[in-house]
Amino acid sequence: MSQLEQLKQYTTIVADTGDFQAMKAFAPQDATTNPSLILKAVQKAEYKPLLESVVKAHAGKSTDAIIDRLLIAFGLEILKLIPGRVSTETDARLSFDTEGTVAKGRELIRLYEEAGIARERVLIKIASTWEGIRAAEILEKDGIRCNLTLLFSLPQAIACAEARVQLISPFVGRIYDWYKKSTGQEYTGSDDPGVQSVKAVYNYYRKFGYATEVMGASFRNTSQIVELAGCDLLTISPDLLQKLADSDAPVERKLSKQAADAADIERISLDEKAFRLALNADAMATEKLAEGIRQFAADAVKLEQIVDALR
């Protein structure tokens, strides 16, 4: 079996892309998107008709409303190709606005349901700020499932679990990037700080019985992916999916409930003050969270400019 086939024995595979053709090729269970991926997709010739049709159909609406419908249009096409769930992201500029994020999450679900999609097939992606986590807590109580993204630290993960969010997406590759730049070292296998971070979160969740799903994200190489075999889900870009499909090297399960139960882990209690202090104490997590929000916000603006140019 290929590494991809072996990995599917232990972990749910998710396609990290806005490219429909890639989803057809690798048959993932779920799919995730973000503003950067959608921006990249709409600039390809094969997706221009979808972009143009959405803008034309909703030309009289605000740019913000058209963007919402564009995200839904991509989500609907993705859901035709996968049996599971699609993650659709809220505007990163709402990352510190609890009420705004709740309103956006409800609007996106309304649009999906209006198109005949059950809310169980959609995850609303929200940045793992304190405000974002509080918004997710409210949405989850409404039966709207959430995917907390831009997650780089255990305190963020614990706050998400306490809020009973459906799923978190710890960013392996971006953690790796920060440490590589900071130390000048190359990390591989189990020594990779991004891999270690996800393992710590997974073990904490399983040790203390949290139901929140862990989905490793933002990978730089297949070594990082293979080291997390056994994680609940892994969201993987098409190029890395292809590399896994082309290799038949052995894949062993690395994460399990049994290993988590055996781990020596201390339970941590977090209120807002403790959360902010712990996050601030982690330079990597603080910097990468802020950088990620800026990047997604900038790409959201670029997407708006593309839409406005077609109106």
Residues with catalytic annotation?
Answer: 125
Contact indicator for 308, 49 with CB cutoff of 8 Å: no
Q: Nearest 5°: phi and psi at 14?
A: -120, 135
In this structure, what DSSP letter does residue 217 have? B
Of 129, 218, 203, 120, nearest in space to 166 by CA: 120
Residues whose CB is less than 8 angstroms from the CB of residue 309 and which lie 6 or more positions away in sequence, other chains included:
none
Sign of CA dihedral 205, 206, 208, 209: positive
Contact indicator for 148, 133 with CB cutoff of 8 Å: yes
Burial profile 74-96: b = 16 or more Cβ within 10 angstroms, e = fewer: bbbebbebbeebbbbbbbbebbe
* Alpha-helical regions (H) of the chain: 3-7, 20-26, 35-42, 48-57, 63-79, 98-114, 130-141, 154-162, 172-183, 193-207, 222-226, 238-246, 257-262, 272-281, 283-310
